[in-house]
Amino acid sequence: MCEITILYASITNALKENRYDILINQLPYEHQRMNKSYEYASDRYLHLFGKLLLIEGLNRFGFHKSYLRRLCYNEQNKPFIPGVFDFNIAHSGKYAICAISTNGEIGIDIEQIREIDISGFNNVLSDKQLKQVQNSTNPLHTFYRLWTLKEAVIKASDLTLDDLEHIETDWQCAWLDNRKWYVQAIDIESNYAAHIAYENLKSRINKERIDI
């Protein structure tokens, strides 16, 4: 049985209370330096919380937070730590989220649902998916559900956004380049859409909100 752990946190309180200087010291120096390069405070907090959630995951699975110093990136800029579980991090709006898989690759995406002109994104949808959006009672929400599902698959499979339109899905599974992924919506808040994509059908999924 594969264990999938989803940890998420809101930056709202930390941002209001200006706890950045306290929290940033929990990261190794090189990660602090990268974090401080972000121009906006909200981006710094989201990046910081993503790493703090990863540290929480490391601790839960018996790895010291010093493993964060081993963080690497592959050719598609997907982060990984040699010798530990597969993980993926995403953030949007006020939430950072981290997914951890003990067996097999995993991808996660979250997006705050904002009013946009979805016609500008038709090139990332198949004809079938475009009709689903157009015929939906809530086209904007349906678009964001599809977007986060497809991006989660991209992040799990190490491909690029150029492959988005080639992903087909029945909302339970997704297919890309003859490879099958299992997908599941993650309920965070009504004005957010989030999905995970994972390899192992026999997976137990646990979701937990973390107070940082």
What are the start-end ranges of the H helices in the chain? 12-17, 20-24, 29-35, 41-60, 127-135, 139-157
Question: pTM to 2 decimals?
Answer: 0.94
The answer to whether 101 and 140 are in contact (CB under 8 A) is no
CATH tag for 2-209 (out of 3.90.470.20, 3.30.230.20, 3.10.20.30, 3.40.50.12780): 3.90.470.20
* Residue numbers of the chain with a pLDDT score lower than 70: none
DSSP letter for 117, please: -
Backbone angles phi, psi at 51, to 5 degrees: -70, -40
Per-residue pLDDT tens over the stretch 132-177: 999 999 999 999 999 999 999 999 997 888 888 899 999 999 998 8
